[in-house]
Amino acid sequence: MRAVIRPNHRKHLGRRLLASASAAALSLLIASCAASNTIDFLYVTSNLQNPGQINVFEVDSESGALKQIADSPYPSGGRNPVDEVASPNGKNLYVINHDDNTIVEFAIGTDGKLYPLQTVNTPGTEPVAAAISPTGNALYVLDYYGPAAPGQPSYTDLNPGPGALVVYPIALDSKSGLGTIGSPQTIGAANYLPVQCFPTNLTVTPNGSFVYVTNTNAVVVTTSPPVTGTVPTLPAVCPASGTVSAFAVSPSSDTQVSGSPFSTGAGSQPTGIIADPGNASIYVTDSRFNQLYTFSIQSGSGALSLAATTGTGNMPMGGTVITPASSSKFLYITNYKDGSLGIYSLASGTPSLLTTSNSGSSGPLCVLGEPDAFRFLYTADYIGGTIGGAELNPSNGTLTTNQNSPYPTAGQPTCVAAITHTGGNKNGL
């Protein structure tokens, strides 16, 4: 889901403003409610411009069509925003700016508008992905390059090294619900958990017990090679095949799972990773061999074992699991080079390909199921510069393109996040 994207020497994934709290609070108090037929607000990060941009859309409850709100797009607070996550309570959006090594926290108004509150730096460089705990009290950020040893030069493309998983505690205000990002959690003598080389993505299990990180241990180029800059070489300290790092996490401590990192196979390049809602499995995409790996999670320990391997389209990147009201469960995987979505049934516990759908544009990276009714699906189509939208059939998982899809963005959309909204009461301030 986050491989390295290098047009004009931009990197990402599978894949580099600050306002006063008082001013933001005043603006939030006068924010108006959105239209009653809006069920969600959709947030789309795009890295074409400098600073990066965030498009904000209303999601229509009947058709799933997107309508951009007034004042959108908003500055992302930095260069090259590559990922974003919304808080579970719908009050905050956290945006990762790759080129500035920053996380920008926004407050979300009842009308979906964004108000920058806080900017923090990561310990390493080039953050590529983020995830949030189910309770919203911990933010996990993945640095492409972790901090170098004291006295040693920083890791860069010219001096590559292993990555880092950073855990930020989030203090939630008891009245407003707004979060404040604290200092990175201390882990031994460091303020991060080490991972291997060129990490791309991470996921948190729904019960909040484990965090898993994909390490490609290779530079994944999703578009044409750069015309400037240097493609990193594999450091000697890193293996020649992909792995998944596993960590047991809690408010008081974070530790590496015994046996971690777990191999995804010789020569593999894992890019995307998705936790199953049942806490028993994770799904990992391999962009080199066009495979989808299902790993079973050992209860209690969090150790992984390979349970199934399924074919995908060309260069799978991200994915999401949706459980419609019918209690069916489907997995959707973006195929970057095919410009398509693979639709898999999870009825048997392991992915079974049902069909492949056009995602609405080209170069899909992120894919998201809207969180209110689980009826609509949206993809960030990087090459096409648009958001693809579709309505899903809850009985068989198939997709029908939404009205007016695909929808324009600020250019080169990198990911999608959303919060629920019902009459202005379920989200925002």
Is residue 47 in a domain?
yes
Is residue 428 in a domain?
no
Is residue 2 in a domain?
no
Q: Is the dihedral of CA 350, 355, 359, 361 positive or negative?
A: positive
pLDDT tens digits for range 104-122: 999 999 999 999 999 999 9
Q: How confident is the model at residue 151 (pLDDT cuts 50, 70, 90)?
A: confident
pLDDT tens digits for range 343-384: 999 999 899 999 999 865 689 999 999 988 789 999 999 999
Is residue 425 in a domain?
no
Q: How confident is the model at residue 27 (pLDDT cuts 50, 70, 90)?
A: very low
Residue 17 pLDDT exceeds 70:
no
Cα distance between residue 417 and residue 230, in whole Å: 32
Is residue 232 in a domain?
yes
CATH number at 341 reads 2.130.10.10
Residue 323 pLDDT exceeds 60:
yes
Position 229 scores a pLDDT of 57
Residue 39 pLDDT exceeds 80:
yes
Percent of the chain beyond pLDDT 70? 87
Is residue 427 in a domain?
no
Position 422 scores a pLDDT of 55
In 10 A of CB 168, how many CB atoms?
Answer: 23
Name every residue whose Cβ is closer than 8 Å to that of residue 178 and which is 6 or more positions away in sequence.
91, 92, 107, 117, 172, 429
The structural domain count of the chain equals 1
Closest CA to 121 of 184, 46, 165, 163: 184
pLDDT tens digits for range 268-318: 999 999 999 999 999 999 999 999 999 999 999 999 999 999 999 999 999
pTM: 0.90
Residue 335 pLDDT exceeds 50:
yes
Percent of the chain beyond pLDDT 90? 75
Position 223 scores a pLDDT of 54
Is residue 294 in a domain?
yes
Q: How confident is the model at residue 123 (pLDDT cuts 50, 70, 90)?
A: very high
Is residue 426 in a domain?
no
Domain boundaries, position 298: 7-420
Cα distance between residue 272 and residue 242, in whole Å: 12
209 vs 36 pLDDT, higher one: 209
